[in-house]
Structure 1
Amino acid sequence: MKEIKGFSANGYVASVIFIAIALACLSQFNPVNGSSILFVLLAVLSVACLAGLFMVQPNQGRVLTLFGSYVGTVKENGLRWTVPFFIRRNISLRLRNFESNKIKVNDAHGNPIEIATVVVWSVNDTAEAVFEVDDYESFVNIQSEAALRNMSSAYPYDQHDGDEIALRSHPIQVSEALKTEIQDRLAKAGVKVHEARISHLAYASEIASAMLQRQQASAIIAARQKIVDGAVGMVELALSRLSEREIVELDEERKAAMVSNLLVVLCAEQNTQPVVNAGSLY
């Protein structure tokens, strides 16, 4: 069921017209004249029509139904008038926030993680929101958490490969995927998702300590690799400069010894203790 525009008129104009009709009919009332009963009935009918007045606040809509049938939605702001027999249900069109509870799921690698999301949404189609689902607010909450569970199992917590999208390292891509997942689930309820992002992300408590050690080890290995790469480059530059400037001639054995000493100096965690050779080079 799609939303359609419901019948309504300016409430101020309608109230003036009906009040004027009622006053005019009452002014014609004369007990002696038998036709006065007609004027009284018209006056009563005009006053009864005032029951069709209703107010529409900004960013709100009124869903109109007649004997169980949907007849339209009124979104014009201000005092409005419609057929008094129409039942009018108020629906907010404003932006709303939904923050899920922290849920425990397994990521793409099977690691248990804790994750939560914040979803910004609004009603886009009032007819679908009212008639397609029993309670659209509860529907948004349940489907958002279900989408979060499904999305979390498709990505790893940490990035291990160069092109791999991970929950922690790619927040923009993950947010877009989560938004799309939630929107697909809520479209049938007339709800539009404006933003969806992760508000909490952490390893589950039972593996948090082990994963912290793993992250520290990965960081140490990466740092060591960078240090070694830099040290090899510096040794290569030193040997090349010595050879180009003919400062000293080194055979292969002494080159190997020099490379070993330089690598020890450059890669050591602690300051090295130099040994000064006061005798002959050989």
Structure 2
Amino acid sequence: MLAMTLVVLPAMFITGFRFVAVPVAIVVFFCWFGFFMVQPNQGAAMQLFGRYVGTVRDEGLRWANPFYSKKPVSLRIRNFESNKLKVNDLEGSPIEIGAVVVWQVVDTAEAVFAVDDYEDFVHVQAEAALRQSATSYPYDLHDEHTVSLRSHTQEIADHLRKEIQERLTSAGVKVLEARISHLAYAPEIAQAMLQRQQASAIIAARTKIVEGAVSMVHMALEQLSEKGMIKLDEERKAAMVSNLLVVLCGECGTQPIVNTGSIY
């Protein structure tokens, strides 16, 4: 009887252990699939049967319900350069423009679930905002109070960044910087616009020269009158003004001329 007991008890123990060990092994094996790795500056959006349940941002080895599906999203700062777009500026002149955009995902859930492909969404919306900004300003300035694409780079960059940010907020993306990387007139009008720029520069330079010459002539007449060095009538003043303006505004150097007929 004792011998039978010694044989039966171990057999029962082994059988019971099997009944317990097998389910435990299955559970452990199943839970193993709940482990996942989160890299630095990375997030993981988790879903349970199609329902969003949260985001993990802490780096390292993590565990979650094995039934959770995990979508990794990079939180690193990224940048891209847009294509060279051909648009019309505020004055209707065709120009080529491109920009560099620096951006970062700040809301993992919105980046994954609010848009279909957030990277493609960023590229398309950035180019749309660039087109909008290009049509809001002239290529070149015509007066000191006009903001232009070529001369006011910081103002244009701030406006472009705000335009892009408004379009990407719904996708959980933050725009850190946006700057124009390429700006030029379209090839078909580039030569004509270059001549226009040269003419504008010449006119501006001539204006400064004339303003300075008039100021110098006025100062010369005042000093001659105050010091009483010489008395000039209106006709002689006009001749002096004419000669001084020719000398001061002329492009070529003056040539000395000796007048032997009159002191005037």
The TM-score bracket by the shorter chain reads over 0.9
Residue in structure 2 matching 1:167, options 145, 149, 168: 149
RMSD between aligned alpha carbons? 1.7
Secondary structure class of the residue paired with 1:33: helix
Which consecutive residues of structure 2, in runs of 5 or more, have no partner in the other structure? Answer: 1-10
Pair 1:152-2:134 in alignment: yes
Aligned-residue sequence identity (percent) comes to 63
In the other structure, the counterpart of 1:82 is 64
Q: TM-score, normalised by structure 2?
A: 0.92
Tell me the TM-score normalized by structure 1: 0.86
Return the alpha-carbon distance in structure 1 between the equivalents of residues 88 and 150 of structure 2. 14
Letter in 1 for 2:219: L
In structure 2, what is the Cα distance between the partners aligned to 1:281 and 1:32? 137
- Distance across 2 between alignment mates of 1:258 and 1:32: 127
**Map of 2:112 onto structure 1:** 130
Q: What residue in structure 2 maps to residue 251 of structure 1?
A: 233
Cα shift readout 1:205-241 (whole Å, capped 9, x = no counterpart): 1111111111111111111111111111111111112
Structure 1: 5+ residue runs without aligned partners?
1-28
Aligned to 1:115: 97
AA in 1 matched with 2:157: S
Q: Would you say how many aligned residue pairs link Structure 1 and Structure 2? A: 255
Verify the 8 A CA contact 1:156 1:166 in the aligned structure 2. yes
Aligned: 1:267 with 2:259: no
Identify the residue that residue 184 of structure 1 maps to in structure 2.
166
Give the aligned residue type for 1:55.
Answer: M
Name which of structure 1's ranges 271-280 and 179-188 shifts more when overlaid on structure 2.
Answer: 271-280
Query: C-alpha offsets along residues 53-89 of structure 1, whole Å, 9 cap, x if unaligned?
Result: 1110110011111111111110011011111111111
Alpha-carbon distance between aligned partners in 2 of 1:235 and 1:269, rounded to the nearest angstrom = 18
Cα distance change, pair 30–85 in 1 and its aligned pair in 2 (3 A): farther
Q: Which amino acid aligns with 2:184?
A: A
Alignment correspondent of 2:4:
none
Q: 2:84 aligns with which of 71, 87, 102?
A: 102
Q: Which residue does 1:206 correspond to in 2?
A: 188
- The 1-side partners of 2:12 and 2:29 are apart by 19
* Distance in 2 (alpha carbons) for counterparts of 1:165 and 1:267: 31
| Residues in 2 aligned to 1:232 and 1:160: alpha-carbon distance in whole angstroms | 24
Change (3 A) 1:280 1:160: closer
Tell me the secondary structure at the aligned position of residue 92 of structure 2.
coil
Tell me whether 1:241 sits opposite 2:223 in the alignment.
yes
Question: Which whole-Å CA distance do the structure 2 matches of 1:136 and 1:256 have between them?
Answer: 74
Is the 1:30–1:36 Cα contact (8 Å) retained in structure 2? no
Contact 1:51 1:84 in 2 (8 A): yes
Distance across 1 between alignment mates of 2:131 and 2:139: 13
**Counterpart of 2:15 in 1: which secondary structure?**
coil
Counterpart of 1:263, as a letter, is L
Looking at structure 2, the residues matched to 216 and 33 of structure 1 have their Cα atoms a distance apart, in angstroms, of 99
Q: Which amino acid is the alignment partner of residue 127 of structure 1?
A: A
Aligned 8 A contact 1:56 1:77 in 2: yes
Determine if the alignment matches structure 1 residue 231 to structure 2 residue 193: no
In structure 1, what residue type is equivalent to 2:91?
Answer: H
Partners of 2:224 and 2:147 lie apart in 1 by: 46
